[in-house]
Amino acid sequence: MVSLPLAHDLLWGMTPAQLPADAPQWAIDALRAGQPVVVRRALSADGQIAVGLRGVSREQRLAGFMAIDSIAHRVSPEALCHVDSARDLPALRALKQLRPMLDDCGWVWGVSGSVGFELASGFAAMHAASDLDLILRTPQWLARNQARKLVAFFDQAECRVDLQLQTPFGAVALREWAGASSRVLLKNARQACLVSDPWNPQEQAA
């Protein structure tokens, strides 16, 4: 691997043998069927990467660890920006509607969540009430007023759009950064903490 996988990347190659001994049958079946796992934010031992598995229902979620040497294939959220599907669902129509603006916004963006999972793997994960989960890689500061404009634009979409801003120090929800609170929740592999500036998080809440 040229670089370590990032949160929301989809990975193929994990085997049932890497699951905990008490792993549910659905998780074993998912890996045997060839489903990918998604990279999550958590600390892991050397040679391991923290991942999550998903089943057919919302309740079927399992946190685990995958050996980095087992990674056979990797798909990032930004690789899915222009992947289309033959299915006709609100989340897919919203993606098509928002794509031109996102392409022109000046930031690298990507598709995550159930939409990204299905577009990358072909395994059905979306339904009529699915949200559209997106990421925006923002290595430089994004003004809160600009965040509010993005939220207003997303609220015109056919389904709820949840976007995470990926800063160098972790992720923050766009809707939170667009809100009125002086501090927002910044999540990274080590912790989740309240900060006033996700791009300069040295001053944290006690």
**What residues act catalytically?**
131, 133
CA 140, CA 163: separation in Å to the nearest integer?
Answer: 16
Per-residue tokens: 159: 């389904």
Say if CB 75 and CB 5 are below 8 A apart.
no
Q: Which residues pair with 187 in a beta bridge?
A: 171, 192
Per-residue tokens: 16: 């049932």
Total number of residues shown for the chain: 206
Per-residue tokens: 65: 């660890």
Our measurement of the distance from residue 185's CA atom to the centroid of its chain's CA atoms, rounded to an integer in Å, reads 16
User: Which among 59, 58, 61, 76 is positioned nearest to 23, based on CA atoms?
Assistant: 61
